[in-house]
Amino acid sequence: MSALFCFHCGEPVTDAAPLVARIGSLHQPVCCIGCRAAAEWIGALGLQDYYRLRDATAPQVAVTSDFSAWDREQLQRLYVHRRADGNAEVSVLVEGMRCAACGWLIERALATVGGVRESGVNLGGKRLTIVWEPQIVALSVLLAAIAQFGYVPHPLDRASLDGVAAREQRSALKRLVVAGLGMMQAMMFAIVLYAGALDGIDASTRDFFRWIGLLVTIPVVFYSAQPFFAGALRELRGRRPGMDTPVALAVALVFVASAIETLRGGAAVYFDSATMFVFLLLGGRYLEMRTRHRAADIVDALARLQPAVACRRTPSGELEEVGVHELHEGDCVVVATGAAVPADGQLLGVQCRVDESLLSGESTPLRRSRGETLIAGSIVVEGPAELRVQRVGVDTALSSIIRLVERAQRQRPGWVRHADRLAAAFVFGLLVATLATGLFWLAVDPTRAFAATVAVLVVACPCAFALAVPAAMARALAVLAQRGVLVVTPDAVERLQRADYFVFDKTGTLTHRQAEVAAASASRDVPLERCLAIAAQLEAGSMHPIALALRAAAGGVAPSGAQAVETIAGGVSGLIDGERYRIGRPDFALGDGAADGEDIVLADARGELARFRVRETLRLQAQPVIAALRAAGAGIEILSGDGAARTAAVASRLGVPDWRARQSPLQKMQRLAELRAAGHIVAVVGDGVNDAPALAGADLAVAVGGGAELAHSSADVVLAGDRLESLVEARRVASLTGRIMRQNLVWAVAYNAATLPLAALGLVPPWLAAIGMSLSSLAVIANSLRIRAPAPTLGEPVLPAAPPALVQPG
């Protein structure tokens, strides 16, 4: 098979005679009709540059939905900001916006819609801000324009227009730059003083430069370093000295000592050390904050899970689109195929199928019949479903899962931060040493008391010590972010390195949510290709995973030629070229009495035509990741909410002997508690809402990107870009970071321990103390820079798996 990839979305094109999109004079292969439409539409607008600019492939085009509900006044009040000039403004989270070209394409597409005043894309946050004239164009038209390309727009509530994160980032950037400018100036003037100390300088010039140094240091200490002082104050109030205390102490001591020396014309000043120290620490914190914000941008509320609009039936029998917050108990709601259920409720229609995989991990859509309860957040795959609302808002099952998450987060083991404890001991020792030195010299030789005390302070300044952990951490976070691993809680790096037991969720984490046809065999003389085509035509209208898998296996060609298609319990039947075919479970397709099994059978009036075996698609890298973790000595277990047969199948394909099926969120939490009680440090990798409580209760929670938002919100680490294999890389970076951090701490403590006695004896002149302090900090930073991403050992992206074996009867 030649390796053809869709021009638009990059998915492999499996069909022998692929669809082509005509763009200008060129013909490009595409994988499906949706992608063809999108590619030709882009071409027709003259936006082909998109394909040149992009660096990540486009999302596959999904079925576009109706956005008219967004024009309702009740919804707009919550989501749309009316500007003073009469224009409206909305902030939209765009799912599927992955690269610069996506942003470019969306902006261009919106520019062709009349009435749009401005549109601004923030790629990092996947946000889009639109300003438009509501009299000319409706919000639903704008959303539909975005959806046309396969992006899914989710309007965000008004509060997100003016983000807390943006303010936090701006003030951090200002502090950092002030510290940087101050540091440069202070160093410049310090060089004059150093040169003067060697070559001779008259006292008035020296004092002038000291005063200038003091002047440029003041904003650094009082403005830039303010977060450290605030943090130290908080730690002191809580009587739990952490890392902010030694930092604040070091800055304050060095600054006050230097200021006093400036006033009384003493031996030396250390403004350069103080400012450099503040700048480096702020730089580390800034990086850390950026990573946190980027991760938080991906996590955005439950907006995507619980739909914002619902279709309600009025007493007179008409349908109206309303906001979900307007729903009440007893209302009658209609949910279209492919839409999410807005509230818990009883099914009024005869039957429907729902996908609860996000909520329970169950990967096959479940059949629900009249009177049974549908859960908010589940997706109707075969509908439409009409239901009577029983519970809304905080009473729904989804909300109770959220409460479980909150409970688990409270139970999360409080990790005693090693460095913090060390820091407290260190600060205490430092103060005792300083005090002892001061008292000693006051008793022996009061004239040398001040110089010796300052030397002790400067030499013992915990700068290298305070930098040891943050410098390594900042570097590790930056390296990990480059590899698509976003660390939400910084101490997760340490836990990632120490985790010795990995618990995986199945659906969505080890497998894709789509299924694939694993094997197909024709039972009679009809060619298999023909059987697949018939199957695809029968299933053309269904969103069921099996239908999607069959259509994919048939190559996506499915202009439905089937007539009188009926979806009955267990399968589908329909007329093609006048002949009636049935496809589904064996007992459905072949009539009662046939042996039931996992296979899908296609049959006509004379009996069986073909058999298909549909299985879950494993992620390409699931196997190497598990092998690599096991090689590193970690325990592996699969906890799934799905049924035993499917879980066992996936576990045996991956070679994992330990698995548990049908686990409710509560059971998962209990299992984790067991493992932890047995002394393991447990990492949970998951993506669904049903994993969220387990994630929150684990020592380390890893969410796979592209999963449910709730899973992300309780994650410590997010593998962005849906790459499971980055977990192994991240673990390697984490253990390297741990090693470097220990080296840094050992070095800092050794330096201080070696120089402190000399300084206390008055043997270290202040200028030497200052140089030593700077060098020890630089050594720590240089060492931290050695943290690099490992060369990819899992291999370059593997080519798509070989097509399923298509067997013809011999």
Partner 1 sequence: MNILFVLIPLSLVLVAMAAWAFFWSVDHQQFDDLDTPGLMPLSDDPPVRADANPKP
Q: Which residues bind partner 1 (CB under 8 A)?
A: 45-46, 49, 53, 100-101, 103-104, 107-108, 111-115, 120-125, 136, 166, 169-170, 173-174, 177-178, 181, 185, 205, 208, 212, 215-216
Q: How far is the CA of 448 from the CAs of 433, 438, 445, 580, 754, in angstroms?
A: 16, 9, 6, 105, 21
Q: How far is the CA of 56 from the CAs of 9, 249, 350, in angstroms?
A: 9, 47, 44
Residue number, 203 or 595, with CB nearest to partner 1: 203
Residue number, 167 or 448, with CB nearest to partner 1: 167
| Per-residue tokens: 128 | 């889009």
CB of 35 to partner 1, least distance (A): 23
Coil, strand or helix at 381: strand
Long-range contacts of 357-360 (CB under 8 A, 24+ apart): 357/507, 357/508, 357/513, 357/642, 357/688, 358/305, 358/508, 358/688, 358/689, 358/690, 358/708, 359/397, 359/398, 359/401, 359/688, 359/689, 359/690, 360/641, 360/664, 360/690
Residue number, 64 or 169, with CB nearest to partner 1: 169
CB of 265 to partner 1, least distance (A): 18
Residue number, 114 or 527, with CB nearest to partner 1: 114
Helices 766-784 and 271-298, packing angle to 10 deg = 20
Residue matched to tokens 């039936």: 313
Beta strands of 33-102 (E only): which ranges?
81-82, 88-95
Contact 684, 703 (CB under 8 A): no
Closest among 727, 49, 38, 774 to 458, alpha carbons compared: 774
CB of 199 to partner 1, least distance (A): 13
Contact 142, 117 (CB under 8 A): no
Residue number, 192 or 197, with CB nearest to partner 1: 192
> Looking at residue 76, what DSSP letter applies?
H
CB of 467 to partner 1, least distance (A): 25
| Per-residue tokens: 89 | 């403004």
Contact 465, 246 (CB under 8 A): yes
Residue number, 166 or 260, with CB nearest to partner 1: 166
Residue number, 103 or 766, with CB nearest to partner 1: 103
CB of 97 to partner 1, least distance (A): 11
Q: If you count them, how many residues does the chain have?
A: 810
CB of 181 to partner 1, least distance (A): 6
CB of 676 to partner 1, least distance (A): 40
The identity of residue 225, as a single letter, is A
| Per-residue tokens: 412 | 């999360």
CB of 68 to partner 1, least distance (A): 21
Contact 365, 385 (CB under 8 A): no
- What is the end-to-end Cα distance of the chain in Å, rounded? 22
CB of 147 to partner 1, least distance (A): 18
| Per-residue tokens: 509 | 């984490």
Q: How far is the CA of 284 from the CAs of 279, 281, 410, 490, in angstroms?
A: 9, 5, 28, 12
What residues are annotated to the active site?
Answer: 505
Residue number, 16 or 111, with CB nearest to partner 1: 111
Helical residues (DSSP H) of 271-362, grouped into ranges: 271-298, 357-360
Q: How far apart are CA 768 and CA 260, in angstroms?
A: 19
Residue number, 142 or 543, with CB nearest to partner 1: 142
